Amino acid sequence: MSNISDLWKKEDWLSVWIGFIVISIGILGVLTGWFDFSAMIFSTWTFGEEAAEAVPLAEQMGSWLFWRKCLVTVVTLGVLFGIGVKLQGEKLKKFVPAFLTLFVLAIIVRLLSAEFTLNRYLEWAFWALIVGLLISNTVGVPEWLRPAIRTEFYIKTGLVIFGFSVLFSNIAKFGLYGLGIAWVVTPIVIIFMWWLGTKVFKIKNKPLVITMASATSVCGTSAAIATGAASGAKKDDLSIAISISIIFTILMMVFEPMIIRACGLGQMMGGALIGGTVDSTGAVVLAGNALGPEAEQVASLVKMIQNILIGFIAFFVALFFATRVERSANKKVGAGEIWYRFPKFIIGFFVASLVASFVLLPLVGGEQVDKINKVLGQYKDWAFVLAFTSIGLDTNFKQLWKQMQGGKVLWLYLIGQAFNIVLTFLVVWFLLSGKFFPVPEIETYTGKKVEQVAETPAPKVVPPDNTVHIEEAHPEITFEQPREVQGSWD
């Protein structure tokens, strides 16, 4: 059961407080104009290929403004995550050098993904995974670097920050659709995979089966940890479930948006499909973003609604294992288990959305809120870069293969995920195709402003801070640098 000290000792709550601190500083900086809280990012640069939007790398890195923003970014994130790690009982002297090294790797990721040719084909999340995977599967990850590999901590914090950009009106409009997609499909997939694993594949390790089923149907690592604890899964069971989930999350995050775009599903249905099938919450946001701003919000809303089930699933798994699977076990299962397992960062996400929608938007207007979101979006991206680099560093294919138990667990995931995708698609089509129900309208600052840019192109001017304006003739190109033009969608 939880207690009051969880508020400053548990990762879930600490991610909420860190997210709120970043949001508060961003709001203060934009509204008062006292300081520039913008994070460091690379403008588009090119190696060999000609690109009108490119800014020479030497010119970018030769600017004092670039290095000032770099210092602001690393100090802000290093101090806040360092305090969080310290409050969790870890040693700062081990975390600080590890975090600085991880941040350097994150800079390399942002540098690679800002290159014009590379950025046209793959988003920065992919390069973060590649950098981490190359290190972990070649030279290996040194032990002194592991204190900074805190994937869940970074993702949860980034999602709290992201909540500020999600209009609460969208949550209200999409709520019933999200419930239909997330709360109908999820329990069916869990029951199907439980039957498949225990009856068809006859896997005797039942905690592993239910952990794999929850990771596949809900949100990967978080659901695996919660359900694993509720079912009494061993550390190796968790490792297998999480590793398989992470590997296929990587593949789905990269290729699912491409397939959706090729099939012409559109942002609404495509985003909902991503939100219901991609395991990791952070990967859902990034995969949705690859389709567009509307898809990003829809995918996030579906996944957030789905994540609410974690506590309930953990509760019922604990109850099921205590009364049916392990009847001799002396386990007490109470309603408080739901709250204990409930992912607290979701509370932070919704509170941030409420503040943006009902406090700041009426007080300062959409233009100022858009400026705040532009700054906060940069910190959200940095949190995700740290997270996905950490995922790569924490994934070793050789170790994973040794834990596959003859391949049955892998087949359990593959068949279960295929069933999940098909069922989710059918529910998404039923709810969002417009044939049976009206399609909800999702409002984004970005969508409105894209239309404004198309109607009245802004002049191309390179400001002193090396940011580069977007050519309206190429809206399909996603850039790494901030868009200073009227109506940017960062």
Each residue of 321-333: pLDDT tens digit? 766 776 544 555 5
* Separation between Cα atoms, residue 102 and residue 146, nearest integer Å: 10
Rounded Cα distance between 93 and 172, Å, is 45
In a domain, 234, yes or no: yes
Residue 167, pLDDT score = 64
490 is a domain residue: no
Greatest extent of the chain over all pairs of C-alpha atoms, in Å: 74
Per the domain annotation, does 222 fall within a domain? yes
**Residue 45, helix vs strand vs coil:** strand
Domain assignment present for 468: no
Report the predicted TM-score, pTM, of the whole model to 2 decimal places.
0.67
What's the structural domain count of the chain? 1
d(Cα 197, Cα 267) in Å, to the nearest integer?
Answer: 34
- In-domain check, residue 465: no
What is residue 465's DSSP assignment?
T
Residue 485 lies in a domain: no
pLDDT reported for residue 468: 40
In a domain, 464, yes or no: no
pLDDT at 456: 36
Shortest CA distance to 166 belongs to which of 476, 377, 450? 377
Return mean pLDDT, the chain: 78
Give the torsion sign (CA, 304, 309, 310, 311): positive
Which letter, b or e, does each residue of 249-268 get, where b requires 16 or more Cβ atoms within 10 Å of its Cβ?
A: bbebbbebbeebbeeebbbb
Range of the domain at 304: 6-455
The better pLDDT of the pair 297, 459 is held by: 297
**CB contact at 8 A, 299 and 257:** no
Please give the structure tokens belonging to residue 452. 């404004």
Using DSSP's 3-state secondary structure scheme, residue 51 falls into coil
Q: Please report the pLDDT score of residue 277 as a whole number.
A: 86
Q: Write the pLDDT tens digit of every residue in 189-203.
A: 999 999 998 899 888
> What span, in angstroms and rounded, lies between the C-alpha atoms of 258 and 251?
11
Asked if the structure places residue 304 within a domain, the reply is yes
